[in-house]
Structure 1
Amino acid sequence: MSARIVTLTVNPAVDLAAQAEAVQPGHKIRTFDERYDPGGGGINVARVICELGGETLALFASGGVTGRFVEQMLTQAKVPWQAVLIGGTCRISVTVHDRSSGQEYRFVPQGPRISPAEAADILETLRHVEAAWIVASGSLASGMSADFYAKVADIAAARGARFALDTSGLPLTTSLGHKVSLLKPSLSEFEAILGRKVPDLESQMDQAKRLVQSGAADMIALTLGSAGAILATANHVCHMPAPAVTARTGVGAGDSFLAGLVLALARGQSHESALRLAVACGAAAVQGSGTAQVRRADVATLLA
């Protein structure tokens, strides 16, 4: 079997990040320092894995001129990719940093509608892709059934690949128990699964372990923002604090975390070492501008 990590993005985007002196209603907001990145959860994961020297393939639904732009940017970045063509047009997401307030504004369109036939094409393509890990990250597109990621999990299991999932809402809960190797919820997503608040670290660690023991997933990586992250299995749970960094953006930080975690696990590293790399990747991402702008040298510095 191939050692590569295949990522899946069913609702990719052209990500535009820009600066503005002030964001005010009713005014024409002049922006500057514009940056374009190929975006969408799985694409972000693949970009970071590629930066860290891992073997990857970004598989994604591509449509319209914006889809061609995503393809072009990935080619320029030397990230291996494969597109499944759709009739709709990929979305454009916009992030604006307001210099006067220090606040970040994110505008995320719903994206194109994917027909049942197009969704079936994505699944059929996935059945013929060689991978040690399949990583599905991001929201489903309009028109897709809530159990789509559960079907991806079943395909991964049938092919002997491990499956990592990072999504939210019904697509997340519908996938629980479908041989998910690694589930990466945020704290709010984790609490939505449990149906209650989990306010302190000790409870978060305990409940993550219990959720694994229930059969929801083999591992759960719970991200806690500035409080770091937890990695739980049925028999072990560990916590890694986040390094103190100056955060400039949150776009792609969770995907960067997931990239580091899966890459380390695929390389056979211990859970603690994998979590350490994941937290360093997430911290490197928030220091940059644009989407999932992780540099190998920055990660090495944070690990040191």
Structure 2
Amino acid sequence: MAKIVTLTFNPCIDKNTTIPSLAPEKKLRCSSPVFEPGGGGINVARVIKCLGGDSLAIFPSGAHTGSFLQQLMKREGLSFIAVETAAYTRENLIVFDESTRLQYRFGMPGNKITDQECRTLLDAVENAEADYIVASGSLLPGMPVDIVRNVAQIAKAKGAKLVMDTSGEALRMALDVGVYLLKPNLGELSSLVGQEEVSHETVDHLAREIIGRGQCEMVVVSLGAQGAKMITKDEVFHVIAPLVIGVSTLGAGDSLVAGMTLALSQKKPLKEVLQFGVACGTAATLSQGSELCRAEDVKRLFKIITGN
């Protein structure tokens, strides 16, 4: 069985609650909060676990909130390495307004990490057995932008396939080393290729520019309700998401990445990899708050997508 390692640069605790109605200058009565571990790579690990797979999650963790995050990880039966930091782990707040059926997401900034803590984080990745490494999410304040390039170098030295879901200058530096799979949205792709706007029609050409430069082997562009496109040197697959009445888009991208990585580790055909990923991403929109996707929803949606 292929070994999957996920790396979360900026983990969090997601606190989910509901209110009858959102109104200013009033005391709002919230439901009892539900706490869940969060952050890009952690979400990927949670989805892989939900789908019956295994992974090792690596992330920084600090102070009392970091300890609570680790408790939440243990509660879900997740394997992990928590790199201790002096600064506390951030918390996010997700509020669902029952009167409007709208969700409000309050994302808190992460706290500064030291150079030594960054080095320890990289050491944990370097020492872990991995066939696939998923690096996902934004960076913590104080993290050098070349940390993602260092992850790419570690993956290359280990012979591991690096799945990258981040953005900005850090991503560009990683691409200079080369990654296996890159998962941008349209906005992130336009930034990578230096264009103000990218259309669905130009995605294939622009993705192949990146592949042609030797910066990755495949690009998967998430297209929201239009599903996702996978572009390799020789093939293009477009899988349209099934029509559903979504509750939240929180974690949909992470679920897409998790489904694809698990299917890749099982050596599924590339078209099926994308189909399974889109099923996972779509299933995540059916869950409220930061619950992510449910296995029964993934199975049902995958059947709709494949027609089986």
| Mapped contact 1:177–1:217 kept (Cα < 8 A) | no
Mapped to 2, the partners of 1:266 and 1:154 lie a distance apart of: 21
Aligned pairs for 1:114-125 within 5 A? 114-125=113-124
Mapped to 1, the partners of 2:145 and 2:15 lie a distance apart of: 28
The answer for the alignment partner of 1:177 in structure 2 is 176
The answer for the alignment partner of 2:55 in structure 1 is 56
Shift of 1:91: 0.3
Mapped to 2, the partners of 1:41 and 1:58 lie a distance apart of: 10
The answer for the alignment partner of 2:160 in structure 1 is 161
Task: Give, as a single letter, the amino acid of the residue that structure 1 aligns with 2:261.
Answer: V
Mapped to 2, the partners of 1:78 and 1:115 lie a distance apart of: 29
| Mapped contact 2:135–2:165 kept (Cα < 8 A) | yes
| Mapped contact 1:209–1:235 kept (Cα < 8 A) | no
The answer for the alignment partner of 1:87 in structure 2 is 86
Task: Give, as a single letter, the amino acid of the residue that structure 1 aligns with 2:27.
Answer: K
Q: Per-residue displacement from partner, 1:151-174 (whole Å, max 9, x unpaired)? A: 001001101111111112222222
Aligned with 1:113: secondary structure? coil
| Mapped contact 1:210–1:234 kept (Cα < 8 A) | no
The answer for the alignment partner of 1:16 in structure 2 is 15
Which residues of structure 2 form unaligned runs of 5+?
304-308
Matched, 1:107 2:109: no
The answer for the alignment partner of 2:306 in structure 1 is none
Q: Per-residue displacement from partner, 1:17-39 (whole Å, max 9, x unpaired)? A: 22222223333332225321100
Mapped to 1, the partners of 2:197 and 2:215 lie a distance apart of: 18
| Mapped contact 2:163–2:180 kept (Cα < 8 A) | yes
Task: Give, as a single letter, the amino acid of the residue that structure 2 aligns with 1:28.
Answer: K
The answer for the alignment partner of 1:228 in structure 2 is 227
Structure 1 runs of 4+ aligned residues shifted over 4 Å read: none
The answer for the alignment partner of 1:136 in structure 2 is 135
The answer for the alignment partner of 2:266 in structure 1 is 267
| Mapped contact 1:255–1:292 kept (Cα < 8 A) | no
| Mapped contact 1:165–1:183 kept (Cα < 8 A) | yes
TM-score, normalising length: structure 1:
0.95
The answer for the alignment partner of 1:208 in structure 2 is 207
TM-score, normalising length: structure 2:
0.94
Mapped to 1, the partners of 2:49 and 2:150 lie a distance apart of: 26
Aligned with 2:56: secondary structure? strand
The answer for the alignment partner of 2:6 in structure 1 is 7
After superposition, the Cα gap between the structure-2 partners of 1:214 and 1:28, relative to the gap in structure 1 and judged at 3 Å, is farther
Task: Give, as a single letter, the amino acid of the residue that structure 2 aligns with 1:225.
Answer: G
Mapped to 1, the partners of 2:123 and 2:199 lie a distance apart of: 43
Task: Give, as a single letter, the amino acid of the residue that structure 2 aligns with 1:233.
Answer: T
Aligned pairs for 1:42-81 within 5 A? 42-81=41-80
The answer for the alignment partner of 2:188 in structure 1 is 189
Shift of 1:83: 0.8
Shift of 1:199: 4.9
Shift of 1:197: 4.4
Q: Per-residue displacement from partner, 1:132-183 (whole Å, max 9, x unpaired)? A: 1011111110001111111001001101111111112222222223221111
Deviates further, 134-143 or 90-99: 90-99
